[in-house]
Chains A and B, each alone.
Chain A
């Protein structure tokens, strides 16, 4: 039995749009791979105090944290060029093998604090859709500005907890700060981008931030990323545009 929704106006419109766009896309679509390297991440926790789920402790936490994070991501995707606009879409995986390091302070006697460090290694899957606008330029690599949406599925993560900032000794796979990251849901992130785009390669700086107004007291996450896009333009295949030497 065919569901009525298949015949809905919205469904028919998208199917028609898809078929009609094939002739256009086939000339303008490119496929390739993307690399993202995360340089900085900024996390703002919504609360001052972290209540541990592993023990009965609680910690004071710095609400705002900036971390250098050598995280990476790779994805397969494509882009469609039309006039000055360029739509990039890709799907891939990311990993932050070190994770941001957050300092936690447990109050003890004498107005002192015991200092602990938590890092949450994480990785996951995401899709990105960013629309770029190429600024006028006579050069081969044209500057462009972009805005888009990134969807991230629940992030897998492991927490290390230590009294040493370098984690030379640590408790592994803990649950001290991890629940406060709230990584167990699917989120929409927003992307602001600036970069240079050529015919087969692009260098982009992206600011990816989480903004979910529907979740009260949600933490604010953002990443500053450097991205390299390489892609094969099918209309130029005979010109041998892919080089990786």
Chain B
């Protein structure tokens, strides 16, 4: 029996430390609460919601811009409108045209609310072209997937989305325009996320944005209920000139069918994107515009549901624009609104706007 006891002691001496060792590893592996998913950037974003001409004369234009400012954040819960901005953050730049001063006078800035829609139907149209501008240059780390996926993941029944992409002679399944699925989704699903992820490497060809956009406006007119429907375009290049549809035709189709066209411009460069035509198209159809690198626009994708439902506060900037005689304004005048948050110009926002003579 003594030998048995000795063996038991040996057994304990050997195995118990091992058990404590394993137990200590187990205790360190307790589950912790999972945090909210995050996006990598948190820049503020300005969104042009509306442009209204009050009085368009030869050398004087009275107008206002409706601009929503989204306060940058990396998580859905902390995102929201920038509500306490001073008037001084909105800046227009005076300049000389043929030695005559073009002067902006901000008369009044109001902070207003919208009347929200209950839901929305939108077609996401992603320009997949790579001729001129490319995602290799503008989005080398594929932030557009994260951003758009964030929008889809936070959809949660607030609206309805269908995914599409356009390019001519590119890598897409169908030339010019590819529509993924035939039904709108109201909640994130793996199928749409998988198609979106596959688009990362399906870039190439030239931009068929005019034909693609016309096709999607037509699709929405035929397939979406006539209730707050829109096409939201992620644009990187201007049309290659081979499209059979013009901007005027798109505008006519969209306005006739009450379809808003929203633009997310992923380039500041006027050589790559026809800001005058597309901003005019958005304004005519009632859509919104935002402009920047895809990383700079991250926060706005958290607010995309609200933007599409028009459920947000915005700044109404009443302005008078004048030019000295004998110069006069183009009936399709375009300029830039700058939003300056602090002394670091890196965080400034730019918005093109078009003042079209009624």
Residues of B in contact (CB 8 Å), total: 44
Who on chain B is nearest to A239 by CB?
A: B3
Neighbouring B residues of A244 by C-beta, 8 Å:
7, 10-11, 14
Given A121-B29, A240-B7, A56 and B146 contact (CB-CB distance below 8 Å): yes
Query: Does A110 make an interface contact (CB < 8 A)?
Result: yes
Residues of A with C-beta under 8 A to B139: 109
Measured between beta carbons, the chain B residues less than 8 angstroms from A84 are none
Residue B325 interfacial (CB < 8 Å)? no
**Cα of A49 to Cα of B190 in the assembled complex, Å:** 9
B26 on the A face (CB < 8 A): yes
A residues in contact with B136, CB < 8 Å = 109-110
A51 touches B7 (CB 8 A): no
- Identify A106's interface contact among B34, B37, B142, CB under 8 A: B142
Smallest CB separation, A235 vs chain B (Å):
13
A109 touching B146 in the complex, CB below 8 Å, given contacts A56-B37, A95-B25, A156-B29: no
Report B-chain residues with C-beta under 8 Å of the C-beta of A169. Answer: none
The A interface is mostly helix, strand or loop, or mixed, namely strand
Known: A56-B150, A242-B11. A95 touches B37 (CB 8 A): no
- B141 lies within 8 A of A114 (CB): yes
The answer to whether residues A51 and B193 also contact, given A56-B149, A240-B3 and a CB cut-off of 8 A, is yes
A123 close to B141 (CB less than 8 A): no
- Contacts of A124-157 to chain B: CB distance below 8 A: 124, 156-157
Query: Given A58-B197, A108-B142, A108-B200, does the pair A53, B26 have CB atoms closer than 8 Å?
Result: no
Asked if A14 is at the interface of the complex by the 8 Å CB criterion, the answer is no
Please determine whether A156 and B26 come into contact, CB atoms closer than 8 angstroms. yes
- Which A46-92 residues have C-beta < 8 A from chain B? 49, 51-58, 72-74
Asked if A166 is at the interface (CB within 8 A of a chain B CB), the reply is no
How many A-B residue pairs lie within 8 Å, measured between CB atoms?
A: 108
Instruction: Report the stretch among B16-24, B50-58, B336-344 that lies at the interface.
Output: B16-24
Whether the pair B153, A110 counts as a contact (CB closer than 8 A) is: no
**In the bound complex, what is the Cα–Cα distance between A97 and B35 (angstroms)?**
24
CB distance from A55 to the nearest CB of B (A): 5
The reply to whether the CB of A187 lies closer than 8 angstroms to some CB of chain B is no
In the complex the two chains form, is B29's CB within 8 Å of A107's CB? no
B140 and A55 contacting across the interface, CB-CB below 8 Å = no
Given known pairs A240-B7, A242-B7, A244-B14, the reply for A53 and B34 (CB within 8 Å) is yes
A95 to B28, CA, bound (A): 11
Contact A57 B145 (CB under 8 A): yes
Task: Give the Cβ gap from B145 to chain A, nearest Cβ, in Å.
Answer: 7
B29: which of A52, A55, A157, A242 is its contact (CB, 8 Å)?
A: A157
- Contacting A at CB under 8 A, from B1-45, are 3-4, 7, 10-11, 14-15, 18-19, 22-23, 25-26, 28-32, 34-35, 37-40
Asked if residues B135 and A109 are in contact (CB atoms below 8 Å), the reply is: yes
| Smallest beta-carbon distance B77→chain A, Å | 14
Give the residue name and chain of the A residue nearest to B141 (CB): A108
CB contact under 8 A between A93 and B29, given known A52-B37, A55-B37, A55-B39: no
The interface residues of chain B lying within 8 Å CB-to-CB of A106 are: 142
Indicate if the CB atoms of A107 and B142 lie closer than 8 Å: yes
Residues of B189-222 contacting chain A, CB below 8 A: 190, 193-194, 197, 200-201, 203
Residues on B with beta carbons closer than 8 Å to the beta carbon of A57: 145-146, 149
Q: Which residues of A contact B299 (CB under 8 A)?
A: none
B15 touches A107 (CB 8 A): no
Beta-carbon contact of A49 and B149 below 8 Å = no
Instruction: Please give, as numbers and ranges, the residues of chain B lying within 8 Å of A53 by CB-CB distance.
Output: 34, 37
**A49 contacts B146, C-beta separation under 8 Å:** no
A7 at the interface (CB under 8 A from B): no
The distance in angstroms between the C-alpha atoms of A94 and B23, with both chains bound, is: 9
- Set of chain A residues within 8 Å of B190, measured between Cβ atoms: 49, 51
Contact residues in A for B26 (Cβ distance below 8 Å): 93, 95, 123-124, 156
B-contact 0/1 string along A150-188, CB 8 Å cutoff: 000000111000000000000001010000000000000
Q: Is A19 an interface residue (CB 8 A)?
A: no
Cβ contacts under 8 Å, A240 to chain B: 3-4, 7
Task: Tell me whether B39 and A109 are in contact (CB under 8 A).
Answer: no
Chain B residues positioned under 8 Å from A55 (CB to CB)? 37-40, 146
CA of A52 to CA of B190 in the docked complex: distance in angstroms? 12
Bound-complex Cα distance A54 to B38 (A) = 7
Q: List 10 A-B contacts (CB under 8 A).
A: A51-B190, A55-B37, A56-B146, A73-B22, A93-B19, A95-B26, A107-B201, A121-B29, A157-B29, A244-B7
Please report B residues at the A interface, Cβ cutoff 8 Å.
3-4, 7, 10-11, 14-15, 18-19, 22-23, 25-26, 28-32, 34-35, 37-40, 134-136, 139-142, 145-147, 149-150, 153, 190, 193-194, 197, 200-201, 203
Q: Which 10 interchain pairs have the tightest Cβ spacing?
A: A156-B29, A242-B7, A107-B200, A109-B136, A56-B150, A56-B146, A123-B26, A56-B149, A95-B25, A109-B140
